[in-house]
Amino acid sequence: MTMSFVFQSLLNGLLVGGVYSLMAMGLTLIFGVMKVVNFAHGSLIMLGMYVAYWSVALLHVDPYVSILIVFPVLFIIGASFQKFLINPIINAPEHNQLLLTLGVSLFMENLAVFLWSPDYRVMKTSYAEINFYIGDITISLVRLLAFCFAMLLAAILYVVLTRTDLGKAIRAASEEPRGALLMGINIRRIYLISFGIGAACAGVGGAAITPFFPVYPYVGWLFVITCFVVVVLGGMGNILGAFVGGLIIGLADSVGAMFLPGSMKSIISFTIFILILLFKPTGLFGKNHA
């Protein structure tokens, strides 16, 4: 095992981990605020990828400009999802909410099959051919850009959550919904916005990888389980935790692939997942619960 091989894997693990971070931040935001385990997150990622793909293919916009289209579209989809489907059952047992999101994801994926056929589609962009080389190590421009966009959005999200009134309201609603309600915060509006932002994070994460990742209706499942691992690792509802967790899981997968055969590579992240659930269910950075 040469040094360049190790660095190369770690680098790519880190770059893809950044994308996991963004997707998982969306998921953890939704969980933190609404306590809803959203299995439709993969479908939202898929929709983000399709929106980016069609923007490039039909409107001929730049792949990275398409992110500006993906964000509002997915925000609206997420917000309507929340308003019409999640909100009516917000007090139902958890397994009902989980099944509802599964039903929605089944619907969205197969709607994609129906509308766009199950074809694999590859976005055509000249960016994909540009690579930088340091010695024997490749830095692919599209992977780097996906990472940068994910980091950028993650940073914006973090600033919004910590520095703005909206962010404070969201955090208040997440930590103490009744208190927040008493303080005059419009909880329903906060739920709507949080779900919209969560969906948009998923969509932008998807759009950011579309330049180097084939798009097809079931593509979301490649990410959604990993997102759950990341969310649990960072502590469910913990935005910063999801951010760091994504990078850790990205690296862990690379290390797993270096030492383990085939599909066994994810065993490292799943083992971390189980251990965290057992010993520190509040996540790496969570306080131990009383």
Partner 1 sequence: MPRPMQPTTHLRPGFGRKAWISLGLVLVALHLLPWVIPNVLHVMIMIFLFAIMGQGWNVLGGYAGQFSFGHSVFFGLGAYVSSLLFVNLGWSPWFGMLFSCAAGIVLGLFIGFVSFRYGLKGPFFALIMLAFAEIFHMIAMEWKAVGGALGILIPLEGNSPALMQFMDKEPFYFITLWMMVGSLYLVWKMEGTRMGLYFLATREDHDASEALGVDTFKVQMVAMGISAGMTSMGGTIYAQYLLYIDPDSTFGLANSVEIMLRPIIGGPGTILGPLLGSVVLTPLSEITRLAFQSYSGVHLMIYGLILVVVIMFLPDGIIGLVRNVFYKMLKRVG
Partner 2 sequence: MANTKKKRENQGISRREFIKGAATVSAAAAVGAIGFPNVLRGAAPPEIVIGHIHPLSGFLGFDGQELRKGLMLAVKQINDAGGIKSLDGAKLKLIDADSEGKPALAIPAVERLHRAGAVAILGCYQSSVTLVASQIAEKLRVPFVVSVAVADKVTGRGFKYTFRTQPRAEQMASQTVKYIKEITQASGVTVRTIAYLHDNTAFGTSLSEHVVKYAPEYGMEVITKVAYSPRAADISTEVGKIKAAGADVIMDTGYFGDGVRVLRTMKEMRVKAKGIIGCGNGAFSHPKFVGELGSMTEYIMDGNYRANPVNPLTEKAFSQYKKTYGTEMGPSTVFAYQPMLVLADAIERAKSTDRDAIRKALSETNMTQHILPQGPIIFGPDGQNKNAQAAMMQVLKGKVQVVWPKQYSEADFVFPHPS
Per CB under 8 A, does 1 bind partner 2?
Answer: yes
3-class secondary-structure state, position 57: helix
The residues that bridge with 133 in the sheet, in sequence order, are 138
What type of residue sits at position 169? A
Q: Among residues 93 and 135, whose Cβ is nearest to partner 1?
A: 93
Cα separation, 174 vs 187, whole angstroms? 10
99 binds, among partner 1, partner 2, none (CB under 5 to 8 A by kind): partner 1
State in angstroms the smallest separation of the CB of 269 from partner 1: 9
CA atoms within 13 A on the CB side of 205: 34
The 8-class DSSP code of residue 211 comes to G
Per CB under 8 A, does 103 bind partner 1?
Answer: yes
Q: Among residues 194 and 226, whose Cβ is nearest to partner 2?
A: 226
Per CB under 8 A, does 125 bind partner 2?
Answer: no
Cα separation, 147 vs 156, whole angstroms? 14
Window 156-185: residues binding partner 2 (CB under 8 A): none
* 52, 258 Cβ separation under 8 angstroms: no
Of 34, 31, 24, the closest CA to residue 229 belongs to 24
State in angstroms the smallest separation of the CB of 279 from partner 2: 26
Which residues, in sequence order, are CB contacts of 28 under 8 Å at separation 6+? 231, 234, 235, 236, 237, 238, 239, 241, 242
187-209 vs 41-59: helix crossing angle, rounded to 10: 60
- Return the range that interacts with partner 1 (CB under 8 A); candidates 11-19, 140-148, 204-212, 229-237: 229-237
Q: Among residues 11 and 272, whose Cβ is nearest to partner 1?
A: 272
- Cα angle 137-138-140, degrees, rounded to a multiple of 5: 160
Cα separation, 24 vs 9, whole angstroms? 22
Backbone angles phi, psi at 274, to 5 degrees: -65, -45
State in angstroms the smallest separation of the CB of 118 from partner 2: 3
In the chain, at which residue ranges do the beta strands (DSSP E only) sit? 131-134, 137-140
Reading the block at residue 264, the tokens are 């066994």
Window 198-257: residues binding partner 2 (CB under 8 A): 212-214, 216-218, 221-223, 226, 250, 253-254, 257
State in angstroms the smallest separation of the CB of 21 from partner 2: 13
Per CB under 8 A, does 185 bind partner 1?
Answer: no
Of 112, 111, 110, 149, the closest CA to residue 127 belongs to 149
Per CB under 8 A, does 128 bind partner 2?
Answer: yes
105 binds, among partner 1, partner 2, none (CB under 5 to 8 A by kind): partner 1
279 binds, among partner 1, partner 2, none (CB under 5 to 8 A by kind): partner 1
Report the interface residues with partner 2, using CB under 8 A: 1-2, 5, 8-9, 12-13, 16, 20, 110, 113, 117-122, 124, 128-129, 131, 133, 138, 140, 212-214, 216-218, 221-223, 226, 250, 253-254, 257-258, 261-263, 265-266
Report the interface residues with partner 1, using CB under 8 A: 31, 37, 85, 88-89, 91-96, 98-100, 102-114, 117-118, 217, 225, 228-229, 232, 236, 261-264, 266-267, 270-271, 273-274, 277-279, 281
